[in-house]
Structure 1
Amino acid sequence: MPDGLRLSLAFRLALREMRGGLRGFYIFLACIALGTAAIAGVNSLSQSITGSIASQGQGLLAGDMRFELNNRMASESERAFIDSLGDVSVSVGLRSMARLPDGSNQALVELKAVDGAYPLYGALESEPKTPLKDMLATSGDRHKALAAPLLLERLGLAVGDELLLGKARIIIAGTIVTEPDALSDGFGFAPRLLVSSDTLAASGLVQTGSLVEYAYKVKVSDPTSVPARVSQAQEKFPQAGWSIRTSRNAAPSLTANITRFSQFLTLVGLTALIVGGVGVANAVRAYLDSKRGVIAAFKCLGAPGSLITTIYLTQILMIAAIGIVIGLALGMLIPYVAAQFLAGMLPVSTDFALYPSALGLAALFGILTALAFAFLPLGHARNVPATALFREQSFERQAWPRWPYIVATVGCLVALAGLAVFTAYDRTISLTFLGAIAFSFVVLRGVSIVVALLARRAPRVRSPALRLAIGNIHRPGALTPSVVLSLGLGLALLVTLALIDGNLRRELTGNLPERAPNFFFVDIQGSEIEGFRNLLQQNLPDGKIIEVPMLRGRILAFNGQDVSKMKVPPAGQWVLRGDRGITYAKNKPENSSLSEGEWWSGNYSGKPLVSFSAQEAGELGLKLGDTVTVNVLGRNITAKIANFRRVEWESLSINFVMVFSPNTFAGAPHAWLATVIDPKATAQAEATTLRAVTNTYPTITSVRVKDALDIVNELVGQLATAIRAAAAVALVASVLVLAGALAAGNRARVHDAVILKTLGATRRTLIRAFCYEYAILGLSTAVFALFAGGVAAWFVVSQIMTLPSRFLPDVAIATIAIALVVTVGIGLAGTWRVLGQKAAPVLREL
């Protein structure tokens, strides 16, 4: 038969068979639609946010270009060059303490001082709606400011009240509603306080060594000239050490974090799709099993095996297309719905929009998954003998299908894995994830074999129902492999995410605050350090005070190679993003140990040396003897790596990626950073200490660690909500697969139930047997999920996050409960119809 005629005939026969509706394919549809919707929705939302950042770049940056300098203003030549580019607005950012006039309370603020040209793009909205120039006006010693509502709430203030900022007394003229360039300024741990440049000067907060960020924003007449201007700035001022951003890259950290998080959620969606693939296989197998008589009739009438395969492959592709369309429709709605909740936090458009690349990627994942898990059942269907037409209740053991079907299955799986890796932000993580999925499939298959083997060798029990349940677990055609596989992946993922979330919360709310310092104190001047130390000893006599010199530097090159032109793994990019805190020391810092190399002598006076954090050095590919070039206060300094340190970042003590030899910054102006650790200090003692430091040294910034941890804990909670929602998608897919597995085994269940009822078994006995069977399988799967999820969570928490990890019993109990409820509940729901099956129709087919 010519290929064209065979395809036409197969298409017509496929359509005729589908006239009866989609019965038998509902699980198939749900599995494909769920996974496709998750991938389409996550990627569409990611593109919506990143697209909005790109399209609103000028407003988010408040300029076409932004030159950022830390701890110093632009020199005369640098400022002249910036002024030549177009209209310029200068803003200054730093953290400081705002306090009540009577000294009774204080709060950390993200201070931002702007000039009269701000903002060059966009608009700052305030309440009341008064021109910004008037809201920040200065008259003599009377200064005005705009504050975030949260600051007023914390200090119990209202518009019109006064507070102290350094040496300046300011009046709250209004509250900030929206700040155009807030996202480009980066994440802040404290509420915003907006003042004028004159107010900042009057406060006296900017001193030698203060941690200050100067941002020069430029509005150019020709935006197309921006790339050339950036190159010109870098060539003309190679030692400026400034960070240059353009409106096309207004918020790089936010964009990178959104991309990473969307990759994680995409992988979770892919997990749901792969788990759903098992449901696809079960649904196809159940459907083709119900068509055994039809297939046998086709063969008796002379239909070749290729025609039969084409008929049912056509049907599967049609059903898959319907499921993909449903999934894409849901995925298109996800960004629109999410935008309603994210509009106040992220630059996301609330207008409905389509993202073809995200939808196309999800559709491709869906079709590859459907084909990958459908070819093997199709191969089995081709092997159905013509005698099945006359012996409908044949339950012969199926052999492997012909090699083309195996090759096609492997090819689709390889294509699915390749697509996941090719589209991933971090391909190492993607490869690890796919390897873990493949390993889980193998291990789950082994678990099902072990469970069946134990059931086969179990001692004989008196209870007929329990004996029947044990027999059902190991008999030919048992549901054991399907149930274990369908629930295993979903529950393992759920346990992993729950344990990670639980360990993070335990650290943030329990162990970490107990080990962490009580306070960080920043911008301590050299003339203040002795008096500051005495003040802390008076208020916290049992506290341990640690003081270190503090500078800021930007890494420019490794071994003379510009880091901006290097391909750096994602895990190490944060070290090169922006300025890093650096210090110098004669002796090795606490909370660190040498992993390689030797520390310099106390009187070392040779060429500059640097000690680098071992973990970050490994991520950046550094080795002993390599050179690091950093820009500090407008000077480029090159130092040789003398040793690597293991740094205990989780202690939240003073630690640095880079510690230089003392001679490196001889004579350089700098401030000091200090911590105080007193685990026995009460909340009242901490409050008294904070007031004393703030009132005595108003220019010193005080950070209470517990307050910062509360903010982080809130962020972790928000992320955990999104992660739990993603894990729920995988668990729903597992439930669907379980339902599909039960549907696939219904024909054999009907046969067994009728025979047992004919031999005298009651419905109650059968129900108890099914309950025992599903409970044993659910418990076995839960044990695997606890082990696999516990290992995965331990790896993430201890090896990647470098935090203490422990097994949480409440998670174990909840997982077992979910497993039992799901398996027994879904199992009984799927087999209830079997128990009511009339015996006569089945017996006539024997």
Structure 2
Amino acid sequence: MKDDKGNSTKTNLNWLLKMAWRDGKASGKRLVLFMASIILGIAAVVSIQSFSENLKENIKLQSKALMGADFIIDSNQPPNERVQQIIDSLGGADAKSVGFPSMAVFPKSGNTKLVNVKGIDGKFPFYGELETDPVSAATEYQQSGKALVDATLMLQFDLKPGDSISIGNISLPIAGTLISAPGSTGVSASVAPPVLIPYRFIEASGLVQIGSRVGYDFYFVAKLDQNLEALEDKVDPLLDAENADLDTHTSTGQRLGRRYENFGKFLNLVAFIALLLGCVGIASSVHIYIKEKLQSVAVLKCIGASRKQTFLIYLIQIAGMGLIGGLVGTLVGLLIQQSFPLLLQGFLPFDVQISLSVAPILMGLLLGLFMSVLFALSPLLSTWYVSPLQVLRIQENGSQKSRKANILVLSAIMVFIFLFSFWLLGNWKYALSFAAGILIVFALLGGVANLFMKAIKKYFPASWGFTARQSLLNLFRPNNQTMVLILAIGVGTFLISTLYFSKDILLAKTSLEANEKAPNLILLDVQPEQQYAAASRITEKGLPLLNNIPIVTMRMQKIKDRSVNEIRLDTASTINGWILNHEFRVTYRDSLIASETLEAGSWPAKSKEENVVPVSLSDNVARDAEVGVGDKLVFNVQGMLMETEVASIRAVDWGRMQLNFSVVFPTGVLESAPQFRVLTTNTPNESTSASLQRELVKEFPTISILDLRQLLTVVDAILGKISWVINFMAFFSILTGIIVLIGSVRTSKYQRIRESVLLRTLGAKSKQILKITALEYGYLGVLGSSIGILLSLIGSQLLALFVFETAFVPSWVPFLIVLPGITALVLAIGLLNSRSVLKSPPLEVLRKEGV
């Protein structure tokens, strides 16, 4: 096969490869820095993608062990006749359990702790295992009538097998330590650690009563070749109508996978930003690299090489750089993912087995190749649109013919960012927002850098000293790196600062108000006959009784004259499913509380009709139920139907650490309904709180107590882990920015050698040149990091306003640590790369440059 000049295509390709190799070998050090710009970005993307694939596969393989059975029927109430018929039609449950939160007392020390009690009947789990110490305790605790206690509790209260635990009205010996069990995740176990007891002791505990948050589970082992998806499609709607549910191990595994997938998507975006940052470094470095090669291009064109051939020589170089960078980045990413199970240990309810996945490896290789070429195309076009004469004259202004091609390249880059984001997120609106956000951040940073250079040029301080003037001149001289350095520094700083600010927002949402009127100890499941005695115990210790809140449980029966069962069967209905199946815990009062604001209607609630009870709904319930002020709702209040009318809609701040309610009734309606009470108080310190809890649980063993101090500690620890993981990924962006910085400074050094040598020849001392360099990179570090922090402040304010809906108080960490830290790093890199010019004689440096 021959080309249009009659030359062999194979010979032409061999010549292009040889030329690309020879030219690239002479510039090996700089090409290595180009590759380093994308290696970390590729490593970040591949590590996250590979771990996500491993996670999906592990969830799929371990879904039975995670659930402990093939499928479960669960309900928040004892099975009624219809549910029991369905259970019997499936051959009867192979095992069952009853679970609920309760206070546990450890007689050995007198300490108390909120735990998640589960009474088990049968040989559960059927898949996986109860990991205990000693091992025999897993099989013996039911027959021997003993308890298995969470390992953390055993350590915290210095418990040993043989010690006892009191739950409600019963006291059981401890059979052993519960290390792991199906269904116990790390986060939920942190708040209420699991305790397993034999099913037969549940009734004697006295803890299953009105208002108790009880879960009834029935475990099944599937028959051979039983189609679980068909079973779920057929049986689940029948159970939904009876306020029960069916979950198979496959559907549960899918939900679990989606939960971690959402977190993985966010990390993928952080990794993708690191990759984009590296590509910005490539574009800038290639721009300078190609400018240096214009004389070589001119020579090639003068001896007969076509513009296509000269373009392909450097395109092959960049493609080879991208392929090698992608390969190295992929290998680094595969190594990094080995640490992910350790980093995510607190979130995963199982051990992840790491294995090689083909898709992320191919993606890493292709990304390295494709993105290197895509981001290098714009500077590479300068070799295509200039004539040999123009190149030989080395004109600074490029041909105007390339403007259309540059626009096409930039459009292709934006389209790629959008498509890749869409692939990661699966939602075009989120992908478009992300692409637009990236464009805005880069545009703002680039615009500020450009304005900064123009402002210095226009208002140049001619009266300043020599070193100060020279350092400012370097910022807008030909071949300056002000733009790319500010982009690299600014984006990295923006990421880290935003992560710090976001963590502060999340912590502020869960923090306790530091005043005596804010409750920090909540008594749950207080029966009406216990409320006055329990309240007296609080006031006797000199503590305030802040709230005595009545709670009544009920479910929705009708929405706008349509029964809930009818709506369930209507496949076209857009009413949210949780509204139809949820057991609402409502209260009654005639005033708003601090976390509520009235959005619509009147308060106190008033009805337009007699015998119709006015109620107030939270905005999320009104939205998901598709009702507004004046619409009718019928509630099933424990067997009694009650017609109501939506009189008002409230906006509720659910993030505040206090009791909030979706549905609020007026007083004078529910007082005689079966109910329980919630009491709250404020304890000044942990010792007072612990003393009160011991006394209350001793006298009222069926009451559960939630210590918000402990809960906040758990939340803080969880957010700390999440923040650590996110910062770990953001580290790739910062490190990529540093490598881009090093590459840019190294590349700009070659452009500045002659200038530095001339300064030394004219009598400038090394100290002066060092001071010029320090000032220049000091300006860049301060400007880039300051803009990054300012943008993160704006972005975090928008997050707080529109996403978290809370006030934003920024942390001082980015200002006191990130800004000076990044500035010092930029300064150090700049000075380090100027060493060779300062230490070598001018003639030696010029000879090296000429080689």
User: Is the deviation greater in 500-509 or in 271-280?
Assistant: 500-509
Following TM superposition, by how much is the alpha carbon of 1:785 offset from its aligned partner in structure 2, in angstroms? 1.5
Contact 1:147 1:192 survives alignment (8 Å)? yes
Match for 2:781 among 778, 781, 785?
778
Q: What SS is found at the alignment partner of 1:114?
A: strand
Distance (whole Å) between structure 1 residues aligned to residue 342 and residue 295 of structure 2? 53
Identity, % of aligned pairs? 24
Q: What SS is found at the alignment partner of 1:170?
A: strand
Match status 1:411 vs 2:409: no
Q: Which residue of 1 aligns with 2:768?
A: 765
Match status 1:30 vs 2:30: no
Q: What SS is found at the alignment partner of 1:115?
A: strand
Contact 1:259 1:425 survives alignment (8 Å)? no
Q: What SS is found at the alignment partner of 1:593?
A: strand
Distance (whole Å) between structure 1 residues aligned to residue 517 and residue 364 of structure 2? 45
- In the TM superposition, 1:238-637 aligns within 5 A as 238-250=240-252, 254-339=256-341, 346=348, 351-387=353-389, 394=394, 396-398=396-398, 401-425=402-426, 427-456=428-457, 457-505=459-507, 511=513, 516-551=518-553, 561-562=567-568, 579=582, 581-590=584-593, 591-599=595-603, 601=605, 606=611, 611-614=616-619, 624=629
Q: What SS is found at the alignment partner of 2:146?
A: strand
Q: Which residue of 1 aligns with 2:118?
A: 112
Deviations 1:530-589 (A, max 9, x none): 3222332223443412413143759999987549978999xx99x779856530424244
User: Is the deviation greater in 9-18 or in 787-796?
Assistant: 9-18
Deviations 1:57-114 (A, max 9, x none): 22211211112211x1111331231133244311111111111338832111111110
Distance (whole Å) between structure 2 residues aligned to residue 145 and residue 403 of structure 1? 75
Q: Which residue of 1 aligns with 2:86?
A: 81
1:798 to 1:182, Cα distance in 2 relative to 1, 3 A = same
Distance (whole Å) between structure 2 residues aligned to residue 483 and residue 53 of structure 1? 43
The count of residues paired between Structure 1 and Structure 2 equals: 834
1:285 to 1:185, Cα distance in 2 relative to 1, 3 A = closer
Contact 1:523 1:672 survives alignment (8 Å)? yes
1:793 to 1:6, Cα distance in 2 relative to 1, 3 A = farther
Contact 1:15 1:315 survives alignment (8 Å)? no
Distance (whole Å) between structure 2 residues aligned to residue 156 and residue 618 of structure 1? 49
Distance (whole Å) between structure 2 residues aligned to residue 356 and residue 635 of structure 1? 59
How large is the RMSD of aligned CA atoms in angstroms? 3.6
Contact 1:49 1:347 survives alignment (8 Å)? no
Q: What SS is found at the alignment partner of 1:216?
A: strand
Distance (whole Å) between structure 2 residues aligned to residue 660 and residue 425 of structure 1? 41
Contact 2:119 2:202 survives alignment (8 Å)? yes
Match for 2:795 among 788, 792, 795?
792
Distance (whole Å) between structure 1 residues aligned to residue 65 and residue 807 of structure 2? 42
Q: Which residue of 2 aligns with 1:701?
A: 704
In the superposition, the TM-score normalised over structure 2's length comes to: 0.89
Q: Which residue of 1 aligns with 2:649?
A: 644
User: Is the deviation greater in 228-237 or in 460-469?
Assistant: 228-237
Distance (whole Å) between structure 2 residues aligned to residue 494 and residue 330 of structure 1? 22
In the superposition, the TM-score normalised over structure 1's length comes to: 0.89
| Paired amino acid for 1:85 | L
Match for 1:12 among 15, 33, 37?
15
Q: Which residue of 2 aligns with 1:190?
A: 192
Q: What SS is found at the alignment partner of 2:110?
A: coil
| Paired amino acid for 2:599 | S
Following TM superposition, by how much is the alpha carbon of 1:476 offset from its aligned partner in structure 2, in angstroms? 3.4
Contact 2:311 2:384 survives alignment (8 Å)? yes
Following TM superposition, by how much is the alpha carbon of 1:526 offset from its aligned partner in structure 2, in angstroms? 2.4
Following TM superposition, by how much is the alpha carbon of 1:709 offset from its aligned partner in structure 2, in angstroms? 0.7
| Paired amino acid for 2:528 | G
Following TM superposition, by how much is the alpha carbon of 1:770 offset from its aligned partner in structure 2, in angstroms? 1.0
Following TM superposition, by how much is the alpha carbon of 1:813 offset from its aligned partner in structure 2, in angstroms? 2.0
Distance (whole Å) between structure 2 residues aligned to residue 568 and residue 771 of structure 1? 63
Note the residue ranges of structure 1 that are not aligned, 5 or more in a row: none
Distance (whole Å) between structure 2 residues aligned to residue 636 and residue 274 of structure 1? 60
Q: What SS is found at the alignment partner of 2:90?
A: coil
Match status 1:822 vs 2:828: no
1:519 to 1:56, Cα distance in 2 relative to 1, 3 A = same
- In the TM superposition, 1:26-175 aligns within 5 A as 26-70=32-76, 72-86=77-91, 87-101=93-107, 104-130=110-136, 132-137=138-143, 143-175=145-177
Following TM superposition, by how much is the alpha carbon of 1:497 offset from its aligned partner in structure 2, in angstroms? 1.0
Following TM superposition, by how much is the alpha carbon of 1:504 offset from its aligned partner in structure 2, in angstroms? 4.3
Contact 1:598 1:642 survives alignment (8 Å)? yes
Distance (whole Å) between structure 2 residues aligned to residue 292 and residue 711 of structure 1? 61
Distance (whole Å) between structure 2 residues aligned to residue 247 and residue 512 of structure 1? 44
Following TM superposition, by how much is the alpha carbon of 1:643 offset from its aligned partner in structure 2, in angstroms? 3.2
Contact 2:148 2:174 survives alignment (8 Å)? yes
Deviations 1:819-842 (A, max 9, x none): 221221111223333444745885
Deviations 1:180-226 (A, max 9, x none): 23249965512211101112221111112211111112112135422
Following TM superposition, by how much is the alpha carbon of 1:179 offset from its aligned partner in structure 2, in angstroms? 0.9
Note the residue ranges of structure 2 that are not aligned, 5 or more in a row: none
Contact 2:117 2:197 survives alignment (8 Å)? yes
1:161 to 1:744, Cα distance in 2 relative to 1, 3 A = same
1:764 to 1:812, Cα distance in 2 relative to 1, 3 A = same
Following TM superposition, by how much is the alpha carbon of 1:385 offset from its aligned partner in structure 2, in angstroms? 4.5
Contact 1:597 1:624 survives alignment (8 Å)? yes
Q: What SS is found at the alignment partner of 1:277?
A: helix
Q: What SS is found at the alignment partner of 1:193?
A: strand
Contact 1:452 1:473 survives alignment (8 Å)? yes
1:145 to 1:187, Cα distance in 2 relative to 1, 3 A = closer
1:813 to 1:16, Cα distance in 2 relative to 1, 3 A = same
- In the TM superposition, 1:693-732 aligns within 5 A as 693-732=696-735
Q: What SS is found at the alignment partner of 2:69?
A: coil
User: Is the deviation greater in 509-518 or in 50-59?
Assistant: 509-518
Following TM superposition, by how much is the alpha carbon of 1:232 offset from its aligned partner in structure 2, in angstroms? 2.8
Following TM superposition, by how much is the alpha carbon of 1:368 offset from its aligned partner in structure 2, in angstroms? 4.2
Contact 2:606 2:647 survives alignment (8 Å)? no
Distance (whole Å) between structure 1 residues aligned to residue 830 and residue 406 of structure 2? 31
Contact 1:35 1:269 survives alignment (8 Å)? yes
Distance (whole Å) between structure 2 residues aligned to residue 577 and residue 367 of structure 1? 52
1:46 to 1:512, Cα distance in 2 relative to 1, 3 A = farther
Q: What SS is found at the alignment partner of 1:169?
A: strand
Contact 1:96 1:108 survives alignment (8 Å)? yes
Q: What SS is found at the alignment partner of 1:375?
A: helix
Following TM superposition, by how much is the alpha carbon of 1:290 offset from its aligned partner in structure 2, in angstroms? 3.2
Contact 1:43 1:358 survives alignment (8 Å)? yes
Contact 1:593 1:646 survives alignment (8 Å)? yes
- In the TM superposition, 1:726-745 aligns within 5 A as 726-745=729-748
